[in-house]
């Protein structure tokens, strides 16, 4: 903990779909990171009207909704097809985070962030960039995440 509260290599602001998938990739590559979410996981979706149906289909071949093709939304039991509901999507995002060990620090509203220089073994290394992204609807999940997040 530093004066800003949290010190890490990468700060991901927001535990929405983009932040969770990015954290999943960082975890896979052993990159130290923190996901900070002012509400709960998938908060933007919690704020939407109950029963809302997604515009994006979540079915094999036309799937725009899944975070990864390896763990698609349509493989989860009870998901409404072809268009999942807000509730389906929330369950999926929560399950994705849980099943992939993505940790989200909830109820943490990020007021600001800054890069710092870390001294390791006598050398100075800049911290990695801060990310604040937004998932873009209407393109494939893979393109979506790479395009929006990196
Ligand atoms: C009515 C509606 C319908 C939609 N339908 C679809 C659809 O059918 N298909 C589709 O693909 N997309 C749809 N979208 C778009 C959808 O919102 C995005 O695809 C997706 O939620 C964006 O993911 P994200 O992780 O980039 O952003 P978000 O889901 O918005 O996540 C951002 C997160 O950051 C958190 N946050 C923001 N500021 C801070 C801060 N300062 N500190 C800490 N946390 C913070 C928020 O609480 C939120 O949880 C819809 C959007 C709306 C509003």
Which ligand 1 atom minimizes the distance to the CA of 109?
Answer: 42
- Record the pTM: 0.83
Question: Could you read off the pLDDT of 1-29 as tens digits, one per residue?
Answer: 444 567 788 889 999 999 999 999 999 99
Q: Are the beta carbons of 67 and 148 closer than 8 angstroms?
A: no
Cα separation, 58 vs 65, whole angstroms: 5
Q: Which residues contact 70 (CB under 8 A, 6 or more apart)?
A: none
52-107 residue pLDDT tens: 999 999 999 999 999 998 999 999 999 999 999 999 999 999 999 999 999 999 99
CA of 44 to the centre of ligand 1 (A): 5
Give the model confidence (pLDDT) of 26-43 as tens digits: 999 999 999 999 999 999
- Cα 109 to chain centroid, rounded: 16
Other C-beta atoms lying within 10 Å of the C-beta of residue 111: 8
Kindly give the distance from the C-alpha atom of residue 47 to the centroid of ligand 1, in angstroms, as a whole number.
10
Residues 111-134: pLDDT tens digits?
877 777 654 444 443 445 555 544
Question: What count of Cα atoms within 13 Å lies in the side-chain half-sphere of residue 33?
Answer: 29
Mutate to test the pocket of ligand 1, among 6, 12, 16, 138 (most ligand atoms within 8 A of CB): 16
């Amino acid at each position: 903990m530093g004066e800003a509260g949290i010190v890490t290599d990468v700060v991901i602001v927001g535990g929405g779909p983009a932040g969770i998938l990015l954290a999943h990739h960082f975890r896979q590559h052993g990159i130290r990171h923190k996901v900070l979410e002012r509400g709960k996981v998938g908060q933007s979706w919690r704020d939407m009207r109950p029963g809302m149906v997604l515009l994006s289909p979540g079915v094999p071949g036309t799937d725009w909704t899944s975070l990864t093709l390896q763990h698609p939304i349509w493989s989860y039991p009870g998901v409404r097809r072809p268009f999942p509901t807000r509730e389906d999507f929330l369950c999926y995002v929560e399950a994705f985070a849980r099943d992939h060990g993505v940790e989200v620090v909830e109820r943490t509203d990020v007021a600001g962030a800054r890069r710092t220089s870390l001294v390791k073994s006598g050398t100075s290394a800049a911290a990695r960039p801060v990310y604040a992204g937004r998932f873009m609807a209407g393109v494939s999940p893979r393109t979506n995440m790479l395009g929006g997040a990196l």
